[in-house]
């Protein structure tokens, strides 16, 4: 299986061979991942070299950043992200994240980051019982992360959200800390069009759509930037900013104003 994955990866990245300036960004495939292909494509369109990582392979293959994609890793058995946390690749990622490796967890990836204690809190079932799938307006509130440096503070962006268990919960003290330390990366907002059934698609506390760790290298986001990278298929190309953002961060790491060196 692993060998097969490697083979498919090398053909996918063939068009960037020989270009030494491209930064390698890994995307992990877990059993049950759905959006790994889209994330790999987003990395490529942003100008990076996509590298497909396999959940059972602890080797990060020299990548300089990692995306944990959306989907239903291990069938969402037990809890979302609970079993993926113990995979071989996650051991390496947790260690590398502690040393500053940029990690972006999208949807199920966000759930995995919380289960792995790289981010505080948890994602619970949507408060209104429904799976929610729509184009969602977000307000970017932290641009001092490895992934969001290309946005401006307060910028409103439109990217798809699709989840059944995207309700961000944490205790009040943690929520207060996240707000005080500027670690809420994005919130759900009404945007210019508004929503008949409310701007918050899943009941997340304090409208939280994305958070970061203290150092700013680890970001978890519930909506899907990798689905908003091309005009043909997305509601916008706002999502591309996360992928071009990390590439810019890797090229100019000093631009990221990490507040502390410690991790969450």
Partner 1 sequence: MARVVVDVMLKPEILDPQGQAVANALPRLGVSEVSSVRIGKRIELEFDGEPDLDRAREIADKLLANPVIESFTLRVEDPS
- Which residues of the shown chain bind partner 1 in the complex (CB under 8 A)? 78-79, 82, 86, 114-115, 120-122, 124-129, 167, 169-171, 203
User: At its nearest, how many Å lie between partner 1 and the CB of residue 126?
Assistant: 7
CA quadruple 69, 4, 61, 23: dihedral sign: negative
- Residue closer to partner 1 by CB (options 203, 235) is 203
The answer to whether 114 is a known catalytic residue is no
User: At its nearest, how many Å lie between partner 1 and the CB of residue 184?
Assistant: 17
The answer to whether 165 is a known catalytic residue is no
Q: From the candidates 107, 115, 165, 249, give the one annotated as an active-site residue.
A: 107
User: At its nearest, how many Å lie between partner 1 and the CB of residue 115?
Assistant: 7
Q: From the candidates 64, 141, 226, 249, give the one annotated as an active-site residue.
A: 226
User: At its nearest, how many Å lie between partner 1 and the CB of residue 4?
Assistant: 29
- Residue closer to partner 1 by CB (options 35, 115) is 115
**77 phi-psi bin (left φ>0, alpha ψ -120 to 50, beta other):** beta
The answer to whether 9 is a known catalytic residue is no
- Residue closer to partner 1 by CB (options 49, 165) is 165
- Residue closer to partner 1 by CB (options 6, 177) is 177
User: At its nearest, how many Å lie between partner 1 and the CB of residue 113?
Assistant: 13
- Residue closer to partner 1 by CB (options 118, 157) is 118
One-letter-per-residue 3-state SS of the chain: CHHHHHHHHHHHCHHHCCCCCCCEEEEEECCCECCHHHHHHHHHHHCCEEEEEECCCCCCCCCCEEEECCECHHHHCCCCCCCHHHCHHHHHHHHHHHCCCCEEEECHHHHHHHHCCCCCCEEECCCCCCCEEEEEEEEECCCCCCCCCCCCCCCEEEEEEEECCCEEECCHHHHHHHHHCCCEEEEECCCCCCCCCCCCCCCCHHHEEEEECCCCCEEEECCCHHHCCCCCCCCCCCCHHHHHHHHHHHHCHHHCCCCCCCCC
Active site residues: 107, 224, 226
């Amino acid at each position: 299986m692993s060998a097969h994955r490697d083979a498919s990866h090398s053909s996918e990245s063939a068009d960037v061979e020989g270009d030494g300036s491209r930064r390698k960004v890994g995307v992990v495939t877990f059993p049950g991942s759905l959006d790994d292909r889209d994330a790999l494509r987003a990395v490529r369109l942003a100008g990076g070299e996509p590298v497909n990582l396999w959940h059972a392979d602890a080797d990060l293959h020299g990548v300089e950043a990692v995306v944990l994609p959306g989907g239903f890793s291990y069938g969402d058995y037990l809890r979302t992200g609970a079993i993926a946390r113990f995979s071989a690749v996650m051991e390496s990622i947790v260690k590398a994240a502690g040393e500053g490796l940029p990690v972006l967890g999208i949807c199920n990836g966000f759930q995995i980051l919380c289960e792995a204690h790289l981010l505080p809190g948890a994602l619970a079932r949507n408060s209104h019982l429904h799976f929610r799938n729509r184009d969602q307006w977000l307000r970017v509130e932290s641009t001092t992360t490895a992934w969001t440096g290309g946005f401006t503070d307060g910028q409103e962006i439109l990217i798809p959200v699709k989840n059944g268990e995207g309700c961000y919960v944490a205790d009040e003290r943690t929520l207060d800390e996240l707000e005080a330390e500027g670690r809420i990366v994005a919130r759900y907002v009404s945007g210019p069009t508004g929503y008949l059934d409310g701007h918050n698609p899943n009941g997340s506390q304090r409208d939280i759509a994305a958070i970061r760790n203290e150092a700013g290298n680890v970001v978890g986001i519930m909506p899907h930037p990798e689905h908003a990278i091309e005009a043909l298929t997305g509601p916008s190309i706002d999502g591309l900013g996360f992928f071009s953002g990390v590439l810019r961060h890797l090229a100019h790491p000093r631009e990221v104003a990490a507040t502390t060196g410690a991790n969450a």
